[in-house]
Structure formats: C-alpha cells, structure tokens
Chain A
Amino acid sequence: MGHTLAEKILLAHTDADEVRPGDVVMVRCDVVMANDVSGPVAFRALERMGVRKVFDPGRVVMVADHFAPAKDARSAELQQRLKRWSEEQGVTFYDQGRGGIEHTLLCEEGWIVPGSVVAGGDSHTCTYGALGAFGTGLGSTDIAACLALGEFWQAVPSTIGVEFRGEKQPFVTGKDLILAVIGRIGVGGATNAVLEFVGEGARALSIDERLAVANMAVEAGAETGLFPPDEMVSDYLRDRDSRVPRTVPDDLASDEDAAFAQTLEIDLETLPPLVALPHLPGNVVPIAEAIGTKIDQVYIGNCSNGTMTDLRQTAQILKGRAIHPDCRAIVVPATQRIYREAMREGLLDVFVEAGASVSTPTCGACFGGHMGVLAAGERAVTTTNRNFRGRMGSPEAEVYLANAYVAAAAAVAGEIVHPGEVAP
C-alpha cells in the first residue's frame, strides 16, 4: 500500500523504516520556531533539561509578534528575554519593525520549503502546509525538546482528503473554502489527522489563499493542512533565498493507492461567502443567514488573512467609501514587507482615508492581547481564525469570522452585508 503526502514527509524525517497512522515516532525538524509567548516558557524548560546549546542555531527562529510592540513592562521583558536568548544562542531573531507575524514572515523569508518539517510554538504553524511543509503546532516543552534534540515525538496522523471542485464565485476567497471544511467536519473532525487539499479548486488558489486555508486546519483539530507542492510553490520560492535545503523531490504527492481515512468534496460553483458565528469556528453559515447583524469593530489581519491579497480585497471595498460612523475598523498588514508593499500601492492611504486604523504588524487583538480588544456586548467581524468566547477581550463580546471582502463591507455598512451590495 502506498503512502500519503504526510506519511512521505514523516518517513523522510524519522529513523523508522515504515510509518502507519497511530505509530509514534521521533521526527526530525528542519526549522524550530517560537515567539514572545511560547519562547520564554520553552527556555525555562530547556534550563530544567540542563541543555545549554540548541541543536543547530541555523535552524532556529524566534519572532516577537504576540505582544509586540510591547503592551506593558512585563511584555517588554519577555521580548527582551527572547532577544537576549537569541543572541546568546546565535539564532535568527525577528524583532518588531524587522519582521511581522511569524507564519506569514517565515514563508516570505524563505524558511519554509516543500517536504520539510517545521515545529512551531504556536498552533497556527499548520500554515506552512500551504507550501507543502509539515508545519505543526507544539507546546513550549515540546519546543524545548526540539531546541535540544532537533526532534519531537509524533503520532503518525491519518489523512483526510479534501477536494475543491470547480471554480470559486465572486467575493469568495480561501477563507470561505476552509470555513466550509470546518463547518462540514466540525472543530474536532480532523483530530489525529492531517487535511490534504486537492482538486482544481485547490490548485487554482494563490499562495496567499493557500496560506489562509492551511492556517485554519488546526481549527478542525488537524495536525497540519497540506497542499501538494506544485509549480506555483516553486515560482514563489524562486523569488527568495531558501534558508534550509530542500531534501525531497518537488513533485511530492500522495500515492494513488494511499489509504485516506475520509474524503470530502466541496463544490465551489455553489459556495457563497461564509461566516462563522460565535463562539466556535465550526458554527459556519452562508452569509445570507448573518445579514443585518450590527457590528462595532472590524479587524482585518492576522496569520491567516493579513496578506497583500487580503489588503487588496479590503481596498477594493473601502476605496472611495467611509467606515460606518458606529463602527471601527483596524487593518493589520501581516509583515513589514507587506506593510511597505501596501504603502507603495496606495492601499494604506485608502484605509486611512476611509477612517480605518492601520496598525504595525502584530498578533495583537486577534488573541485579546492588545491593540483592539473588545468590550462586553460588542460584536466584531474579523478575518482571524478563532471566535472562541472571550477570544478578543470580554467574554460577553462576539466574534464573527469572515473573509476580507465581507469584513470590509461590514465596516462600511455597520452590519453584515453581502460585499456585492457595497461594491458592485
């Protein structure tokens, strides 16, 4: 019997001769990443392990993004510790103003190559599946072990095949594709599994949209969400210097006789823009069922949807229009590079002129940290990935997840509307 894409990647990173779902093996990582929240907790564990040096400084990346720019003295201290530790260990450190939100950043900086294994101290490390890498989120003690040994233990996941059929409709983006999947299988539907995205609808997605899809694989419980690497990924990587060697063939894909735990099909011809209602990313409805919901704040950004593609979609809606007087809008370009590109294209001017706040790259309000936290009774439409109770501040606030068109249109209307009604 053949192997799935995930099994092939794991086989290339373990001493085991064979891997089948459920086997627990040690997996070598090509890159280990942590941030200002998970890093310092990992350093404590590393100390308790008695380990003084990381396994390979060339494969370790630290990013200050969660509470950056520092929310308070305590957050500043965490970032200071991250920086000092990185200097001591000789590993790459992206400070505020020099990087951005970790997952978008690591892709654009060339840390992620197809067929690699990336261990990240953040659950959205699954984003790297967009480039065909087995990126997976781990806790801080796991990260400490990765820093020490360059390995983590892993139960080999089964694979759920997701086929996107046909062509997506206007105002439908990668966000809607993954919301459709989570709505179908539920927030625990891919536990102990990876999602593998195939079909013409998957291949047609830009890298930015693939990032949005893979990013939310964990919202279905998946270990990662893989797109088989293709020409588009090769083109994307051609523009940047890879930081780690590519060790597997470019055309890596599941064997035809590989065993899938489940397959599902999503018909893009009939898929409308979707909205995930509070308080679970799996509470997904067609936008028609959310129309008229009054909105206090719109947040466009985060590791799933803070790319140039999202900012262009936002500008398409906001250009020449104003944010509704009862609504606030925050736009967060995911990285410094995207920030500059948006500036050069004139997008930031469109946002500011419409009455939106444009923020420096940060994870900030997405997780209720700072820079746009919600009050009790407030409702937000966001392009982020989680709408758990209290996620963005008060437990009495509500978060609706949607794509950038829908979020921007809600900012203009002050309520959820079909974006086609705002910008025909």
Chain B
Amino acid sequence: MIVEGTALVIPGDDVDTDVMYPGAYLNVDDPEEMKHYLFDGYDPSLRDHLGPDAVVVTGWNFGLGSSREHVVQALRAWGVPALVGRSFARIFRRNCVNLGLAIFEAPEAAEAASPGSRMRIDTDAGEILVDGKSFATPPVAALVAELQAVGGLVPWVEERTR
C-alpha cells in the first residue's frame, strides 16, 4: 500500500477522545453526521484541513480515554488515509485497525513531520518518507497485518462467516 499526502499535525500529547468527539454528540450513529463534530472540543478549525490528502500526525498517547469509535468513524468519513504518531492509546489504535484506517506508531517520523510536510508511506518497502527523509514502518503482528490487508474487521468477519 502506498499513501501520499500532506501532514496535518495535531499538536500536543495525551489528546483524548472527549476533546476529539465530545460526549454530547454520542447519540449520533451516522458517520456522515459524526464528521461535522470531529475535533469540536479541541480545535474545530482542524476540520478545514481534513480530507483524502491529510495524513494525521500525532504526539504521544493519542486517543486516550473512551472506546467511542465515533472519532475514527469520523476520520474515515473525511477520507483521511493514514495516521502517523509517536504513540497511540490502545482502544483508539484497535479502532483504526478495525475500520481499515492505516495507523503507524513511528515516533521518529512523527517528530520529523511539521504542518504541511510531504508524507509518503510505502508499506511494501516498509518506509515512511517525511519531506524526503526516510523512516522505517513499525513491525506489525501477522493477524493485524491480515486485518489491514483486507481493509479491517468488517470484511474479515464477512469472509469468515460466509
């Protein structure tokens, strides 16, 4: 898989799920509507930069807190192709894998990226290019790689229960 785009840097560490998707909007269950509330409690202007060209770059422990999948559903609804972060909270990372959103825990690559950096991720070559500078993609367990290859848990389960 090859992903190319522009770095959208979410500043700070420990950015939690509540600021990314406030609880008041949890009674929404349609991703197309969820996307309009993404980052509402953090910086709503980030939404202006979301789209198929935005590679989201994060700090440490991004996505801590709630299991609300609304955050990742909304990122996907915006067409965001990938996240590159210093580190991710466990449930957030799972949600990305399950929904087929590419996620890379690559602290050095995340550190190297600044707003607007050119990002190119080549999973076959195991490489993340940040403004031309090369970083290795992190190792992925076989089962997680399998999930990512088929596009997430929905097609994976569909295949197994057919």
Interface of A toward B, CB cutoff 8 Å:
22-26, 37-38, 40-41, 44-45, 48-51, 66-67, 71-72, 74-75, 78, 121-123, 137-142, 144-145, 148-149, 153, 155, 187-188, 191-192, 218, 221, 223, 280, 367-369, 373, 386, 388-391, 393, 395
| Chain A residues whose CB sits within 8 angstroms of the CB of B156 once the complex forms | 145
Report yes or no: A24 in contact with B61, Cβ–Cβ below 8 A.
no
- Given the known A-B contacts A24-B142, A138-B91, A388-B65, are A367 and B157 also in contact in the complex, defined by CB atoms under 8 Å? no
Q: Shortest 4 CB-CB distances between A and B: which pairs?
A: A188-B61, A367-B23, A24-B141, A139-B69
Cβ contacts A to B, 10 pairs, < 8 Å? A75-B27, A122-B67, A138-B67, A141-B98, A145-B153, A191-B89, A221-B64, A368-B18, A369-B23, A395-B19
B residues 24-59 touching A (CB-CB < 8 Å): 24, 26-29, 41
The smallest C-beta distance from A369 to any residue of chain B, in angstroms, reads 5
| Chain A residues whose CB sits within 8 angstroms of the CB of B22 once the complex forms | 368, 390
Report yes or no: A140 in contact with B69, Cβ–Cβ below 8 A.
yes
Tally B residues with Cβ within 8 Å of A.
45
Apart from A141-B95, A390-B18, A390-B19, list 17 A-B contacts with CB within 8 A.
A24-B141, A37-B68, A49-B161, A66-B26, A72-B27, A139-B69, A141-B152, A142-B153, A145-B153, A187-B14, A191-B87, A191-B90, A368-B23, A368-B24, A369-B26, A386-B16, A389-B19
The smallest C-beta distance from A24 to any residue of chain B, in angstroms, reads 4
Report yes or no: B70 in contact with A71, Cβ–Cβ below 8 A.
no
- Given the known A-B contacts A50-B161, A149-B161, are A74 and B27 also in contact in the complex, defined by CB atoms under 8 Å? yes
| Chain B residues whose CB sits within 8 angstroms of the CB of A139 once the complex forms | 67-69, 72, 91, 94-95, 98
| Chain B residues whose CB sits within 8 angstroms of the CB of A78 once the complex forms | 27, 29
Report yes or no: A191 in contact with B61, Cβ–Cβ below 8 A.
yes
- Given the known A-B contacts A38-B69, A388-B18, A390-B19, are A50 and B27 also in contact in the complex, defined by CB atoms under 8 Å? no
Question: Closest A-chain residue to B140, C-beta based?
Answer: A24
Task: Check if B135 is an interface residue, CB within 8 A of chain A.
Answer: no
A323 to B67 CA separation, bound complex (whole angstroms): 35
Report yes or no: A188 in contact with B60, Cβ–Cβ below 8 A.
yes
| Chain A residues whose CB sits within 8 angstroms of the CB of B144 once the complex forms | 24, 153
- Given the known A-B contacts A24-B142, A188-B61, A395-B41, are A38 and B67 also in contact in the complex, defined by CB atoms under 8 Å? yes
Question: Closest B-chain residue to A40, C-beta based?
Answer: B29
A66 to B60 CA separation, bound complex (whole angstroms): 29
Question: Closest A-chain residue to B160, C-beta based?
Answer: A149
- Given the known A-B contacts A37-B27, A389-B18, are A45 and B154 also in contact in the complex, defined by CB atoms under 8 Å? yes
Report yes or no: A149 in contact with B157, Cβ–Cβ below 8 A.
yes
Report yes or no: A221 in contact with B27, Cβ–Cβ below 8 A.
no
Task: Check if B158 is an interface residue, CB within 8 A of chain A.
Answer: yes
The smallest C-beta distance from B25 to any residue of chain A, in angstroms, reads 10
Most B CB contacts (10 A, CB to CB) among A26, A66, A188 go to: A188
B residues 52-103 touching A (CB-CB < 8 Å): 60-61, 64-70, 72-73, 87, 89-91, 94-95, 98-99
Report yes or no: B41 in contact with A137, Cβ–Cβ below 8 A.
no
| Chain A residues whose CB sits within 8 angstroms of the CB of B95 once the complex forms | 139, 141-142
A-B pairs with beta carbons under 8 A, tally: 144
Given A38, A72, A138, A395, which contacts B94 in the complex, CB threshold below 8 Å? Answer: A138
Interface string of B126-162 (1 = CB under 8 A from A): 0000000000000001111001000011101110111
Given A41, A50, A187, which contacts B69 in the complex, CB threshold below 8 Å? Answer: A41
A149 to B154 CA separation, bound complex (whole angstroms): 12
- Given the known A-B contacts A188-B61, A191-B61, A386-B65, are A145 and B90 also in contact in the complex, defined by CB atoms under 8 Å? no
| Chain B residues whose CB sits within 8 angstroms of the CB of A369 once the complex forms | 23-24, 26
A41 to B31 CA separation, bound complex (whole angstroms): 9
Given B41, B68, B141, which contacts A390 in the complex, CB threshold below 8 Å? Answer: B41
Given B41, B66, B157, B161, which contacts A123 in the complex, CB threshold below 8 Å? Answer: B66
Report yes or no: B158 in contact with A49, Cβ–Cβ below 8 A.
yes
- Given the known A-B contacts A142-B98, A386-B18, A386-B65, are A41 and B29 also in contact in the complex, defined by CB atoms under 8 Å? yes
A98 to B73 CA separation, bound complex (whole angstroms): 32
Report yes or no: B152 in contact with A155, Cβ–Cβ below 8 A.
no
A223 to B91 CA separation, bound complex (whole angstroms): 9
Report yes or no: A24 in contact with B87, Cβ–Cβ below 8 A.
no
| Chain A residues whose CB sits within 8 angstroms of the CB of B70 once the complex forms | 41
The smallest C-beta distance from B124 to any residue of chain A, in angstroms, reads 21
Report yes or no: B69 in contact with A153, Cβ–Cβ below 8 A.
no
Question: Closest A-chain residue to B144, C-beta based?
Answer: A24
Report yes or no: A223 in contact with B141, Cβ–Cβ below 8 A.
no
The smallest C-beta distance from A25 to any residue of chain B, in angstroms, reads 8
Most A CB contacts (10 A, CB to CB) among B91, B94, B157 go to: B157
A191 to B93 CA separation, bound complex (whole angstroms): 11
The smallest C-beta distance from A216 to any residue of chain B, in angstroms, reads 12
| Chain B residues whose CB sits within 8 angstroms of the CB of A367 once the complex forms | 18, 23, 26, 66
Given A37, A187, A192, which contacts B90 in the complex, CB threshold below 8 Å? Answer: A192
| Chain B residues whose CB sits within 8 angstroms of the CB of A25 once the complex forms | 143
Report yes or no: A280 in contact with B14, Cβ–Cβ below 8 A.
yes
A164 to B67 CA separation, bound complex (whole angstroms): 29
